[in-house]
Amino acid sequence: PRVEGLYVPRVYHAYCGRRLLVTEWIDGTKLTDGTPEDIKPLVALGVRAFLTQLLDVGTFHADPHPGNLMVTPQGQLAYLDFGMMGSLDAPTRLGMIRLLVNFVNRDAAELAKDFQALGFLSPEVADLGPIEAALDKTFAAQNNDE
């Protein structure tokens, strides 16, 4: 799937090897050198791009820090340095989607189960009550800050 406003450089496969990836040159400004005015409009795009990679595609850029991101003269967000990539299988992606839905819904009980299902908590943890209570406390504190 394409994410509008995201630019991924073309790969020159003929020049690539097992430990070398050659891509096209991209003109632009690295986010480390950008101003807040340059970067702020790209935040939502970056989140959308990362979630699309992680939850839809299953393969994602695992090092998207400001030095590996650039804004092009056309205002697109471009990824650089694909040396660190990650992948998730379909069941894990579905588990992450459930986790995000339950987080947005602030459902502490389901979140605790998601943490266990995804392996963040050992299956040997029988009583999820303390985890649920901590999550509820965190959500309540966030509500007080809003």
| Catalytic residue list | 63
CA-to-CA separations, 121 to 116, 124, 130, in angstroms, rounded? 4, 8, 12
What is the C-alpha separation between 94 and 97, in angstroms, rounded? 5
Burial of residue 45 (CB within 10 Å: 0-12, 13-18, 19+) is: middle
